[in-house]
Structure 1
Amino acid sequence: MGETAKYTDKMSVRHILIVISGIMITFGCSALVFSTWSAFQAVVPEQLGVDTATWALYITVLYLAEAFSAPFIGKLLAKTDIRIVLSVSALLVGLGFILISIVKTLWIFYVAGLMMGLGEVGLLWLAVPTLCNKWFNKNSGTIIGACMAFTGIGGAIWLQVFNALNASGMDIWTIYMIWGIAALVTSLPFTLLCIRSTPEECGCLPYGAPQTASGKPAGLDAGKAMKSVAFYAVFLLAGIINLLTIVAQQFPKYTKSLDDGTGTMLAVGVTMATVMMASQAICKLALGVCADKNSKVSFLAACATGIIGVLLVWFGTGSTMVLYAGAAVYGFFFASCVVLVPILVRQLFGQREYPEIYSRVSMFVNIVGAIGAPFWALFGKNYPMLFTVAIILLVVVLLLGIFCFGKMKGLQEQWTE
């Protein structure tokens, strides 16, 4: 009894540091990579003298690097000191931006995309859900939502920084240098000093009462989970959701195509992206809180707002306020990728071998993400077709989600410790 008395499942400074670290790596590295490239897309291809689709291939490289490294990084996070994995990941992201700033050619974007992809698979897709599930038995969905909200908050802030720097006449390559330094400053102090793989390393227990009498995590083993039909359904669902988040990166280009020659519509598009980032930040927290209570209702609401948001952007071109409203509403669906998907995976398959199972889902998420930028870019200026395809895919996501929730009770009955 004396040996275990030092351990506590109460909220401690160490638990709070985990949350702060999750917030900072999403606010910095993840927001800079995923939430601002749409603004650069409107400027950089012209400076390099290439078409948008060719330049956007670096996003494909980024997602492919994430996809094929996800199972490997998932195992590293389970077996290696997480501080080492995440610190190396942050260095790859920051140095990728700095290389772009220095070399200033098309091919360096592909190299940087590879580096950033290897870094972000740990920082965004795996670290936050894995740490939250290890450190929090209670309210883990809320914590995931709070951390992931800062990809949106960070995106909103960094997009406005980009707007201000670009409007001031600053060279685009200097902005990339600032992005690289910001990525390093907002991540390394936290990955090196604040994070530990498990609460037991700090003399703590996961916050909240354990979910099983023994305190051991319950769930399906990875092999059994990946043989279930529900695994392939959530596999597809997660990938399509990620594809649909990327369509929002077309908003600045879409509004630029509506320009009357004054140049104001590009700024409207960037502002739409900012509004969506701010919206999805709020919605990530809301989704996390709601999913802890009722994940099915949260999922249905997310799909509904996705469809409404697309329709508002499509048919709201006569009013900038309607366009902003559409971007804000779509932000609710946008939030589901990094909040609802990990929660759904945990509720279907449990925590027993969660990192390995979720890393496989993340692999497909990023394979689909790899084709996302060129896929949507191929529509060119045929925006009616683009928005029609988006709505069809949203309906597919809805049907896959309903199927997964229908299988949930049966899978949970098979969980073991």
Structure 2
Amino acid sequence: MGETATYTDKMSVRHILIIISGIMITFGCSALVFSTWSAFQAYVPDLLGVPTTQWALYITVLYLAEAFSAPFIGNLLAKTDIRIVLSASALLVGVGFILISLIKSMWIFYVAGLMMGLGEVGLLWLAVPTLCNKWFNQKSGTIIGACMAFTGIGGAIWLQVFNALIASGMDVWTIYMIWGVAALVTSLPFTLLCIRSTPEEAGCLPYGKPQTASGKPAGIDASKAMKSVAFYAVFLLAGIINLLTIVAQQFPKYTKSLDDGTGTFIAVGVTMATVMMASQAICKLALGVCADKNSKLSFFAACACGILGVLLVWFGTGSAMILYAGSAVYGFFFASCVVLVPILVRQLFGQREYPQIYSRVSMFVNIVGAVGAPFWAFFGDMSYSILFTVAIVLMVVVLLLGIFCFGKMKGLQADWTE
């Protein structure tokens, strides 16, 4: 224990419960929403008698709901008991799935997309970074990475469950009901019973030595931060990174365009998607660990992996193993959106008004997410050479924005107050 008794150097059961809660939130609600909708896409539009593009619009509704509610949810997390906010968020996600199961109509998907978007902005984008910043002065990057890894791990597991249920003859409406119950069971016990807004509410102290002698959160006022050039740089950086993660959705379609009639490349594309999901899960943890030691080096490594991954996929068509390697390497860059960006925001602007600041960043991230799929599909329809060229150019832009942000970091930290 430190001399001022403002932190502990041992993790208690309460600290471990925070980590487990973060894992369960991402494994359940977040993975069910974001990592399995493409599996339903093969069945639901035909059952409803609507075009796939019309059905998939509910994902756009979901992202836009996340984007425009992010500042509001960020303020709630800063001022309201986090148990209330996250439990309500989990209910929105679970009930959204259940309504789809019961009503079986196109319009309910748009309603559910709105509900899930309102829920996921807290559960996926804000909960884990906010809790980590308040409960852990040290190793927060590692913990964020470990929690976020379970969106990928959860996705891989839930997709296998989906395939098994479909193979058994179960209809998709029943699976939606199972998804709704699973979302509630994997979240509510933890959001209601295991978490608190601050360690002090649970009779604990934050883990690890604090950044200030008093132990109080230090940082820049949100209003001041949002007037700085660095805020707009990280704002753009985060959005472009999310846009670049969506390019990976084009990999299966890209390999299909290479197919020689044997179906070999189609199978390769499906395997690439699986490799990507597994890789980004592992890389989220690895990136969190690395960022705790050196966030700048981690950022440069992520950008390098992004560029290398695209080049391997682009020029590695002569070998399935090279395509798989490209997908795996790209996973390290993919992981940076939900791991490295919150760490960078914290290092630039501090913890004092972190939820308000990061929620504004996540707003733009989700706006980009809403337009990302048609953006890359447009370039893919033109030429995959154009698509990959645009991707590499945007990665260079991300790299330059990151260099700018790290250059401003010391000056911003000098203005931190408690």
The alignment's TM-score, normalised by the length of structure 2, stands at 0.92
1:236 counterpart residue number: 236
Q: Are the structure 2 counterparts of residues 87 and 261 from structure 1 closer, same or farther at C-alpha, using a change threshold of 3 Å?
A: farther
Unaligned segments of structure 2, at least 5 residues: none
Distance, in Å, in 1 between the alignment partners of 2:48 and 2:313 is 30
Check if 1:156 corresponds to 2:156: yes
Runs of 4+ with >6 A deviation: 4-7
Task: Check conservation: 2:7, 2:207, Cα contact below 8 A.
Answer: no
Q: Which moved more, 1:405-414 or 1:120-129?
A: 405-414
Deviation, structure 1 residue 339:
0.5
Deviation, structure 1 residue 40:
3.4
Q: Are the structure 2 counterparts of residues 102 and 325 from structure 1 closer, same or farther at C-alpha, using a change threshold of 3 Å?
A: farther
Q: Which moved more, 1:34-43 or 1:294-303?
A: 34-43
Deviation, structure 1 residue 308:
1.6
Deviation, structure 1 residue 330:
1.1
Q: Are the structure 2 counterparts of residues 14 and 238 from structure 1 closer, same or farther at C-alpha, using a change threshold of 3 Å?
A: same
Check if 1:14 corresponds to 2:10: no
2:392 counterpart residue number: 391
Distance, in Å, in 2 between the alignment partners of 1:315 and 1:181 is 44
Task: Check conservation: 1:152, 1:281, Cα contact below 8 A.
Answer: yes
Q: How many residues align?
A: 414
Aligned partner of 1:54: which letter? Q
Q: Which moved more, 1:214-223 or 1:258-267?
A: 258-267
Aligned partner of 1:75: which letter? N
Check if 1:121 corresponds to 2:127: no
Identity across aligned pairs (percent)? 89
Q: Once the two structures are superposed, what CA deviation does each residue of 1:49-100 show, in whole Å capped at 9, x if it has no partner?
A: 5444433322211111011111111111111111111111111112222222
**What are the equivalent positions in structure 2 for 1:12-411 lying under 5 Å apart?**
12-259=12-259, 267-379=267-379, 381=381, 382-411=383-412
Task: Check conservation: 1:6, 1:203, Cα contact below 8 A.
Answer: no
Deviation, structure 1 residue 262:
6.1
Q: Which moved more, 1:280-289 or 1:90-99?
A: 90-99
Deviation, structure 1 residue 269:
3.3
Distance, in Å, in 2 between the alignment partners of 1:392 and 1:79 is 40
Unaligned segments of structure 1, at least 5 residues: none
Deviation, structure 1 residue 326:
1.7
Aligned partner of 1:84: which letter? I
Q: Are the structure 2 counterparts of residues 415 and 384 from structure 1 closer, same or farther at C-alpha, using a change threshold of 3 Å?
A: same
Distance, in Å, in 2 between the alignment partners of 1:43 and 1:262 is 24
Distance, in Å, in 2 between the alignment partners of 1:275 and 1:93 is 27
Q: Are the structure 2 counterparts of residues 375 and 173 from structure 1 closer, same or farther at C-alpha, using a change threshold of 3 Å?
A: farther
Q: Once the two structures are superposed, what CA deviation does each residue of 1:270-322 show, in whole Å capped at 9, x if it has no partner?
A: 43222212111111111111111111110111111111212222333343332
Q: Which moved more, 1:230-239 or 1:323-332?
A: 323-332
The alignment's TM-score, normalised by the length of structure 1, stands at 0.92
Aligned partner of 1:271: which letter? T
Over the aligned positions, Cα root-mean-square deviation in angstroms equals 2.3
Aligned partner of 2:408: which letter? K
Q: Are the structure 2 counterparts of residues 110 and 269 from structure 1 closer, same or farther at C-alpha, using a change threshold of 3 Å?
A: farther
Task: Check conservation: 1:38, 1:250, Cα contact below 8 A.
Answer: no
Q: Which moved more, 1:93-102 or 1:48-57?
A: 48-57
Q: Which moved more, 1:270-279 or 1:312-321?
A: 312-321
Q: Which moved more, 1:204-213 or 1:150-159?
A: 150-159
Distance, in Å, in 1 between the alignment partners of 2:49 and 2:205 is 55
Deviation, structure 1 residue 397:
1.0
Deviation, structure 1 residue 388:
2.4
Task: Check conservation: 1:87, 1:188, Cα contact below 8 A.
Answer: yes
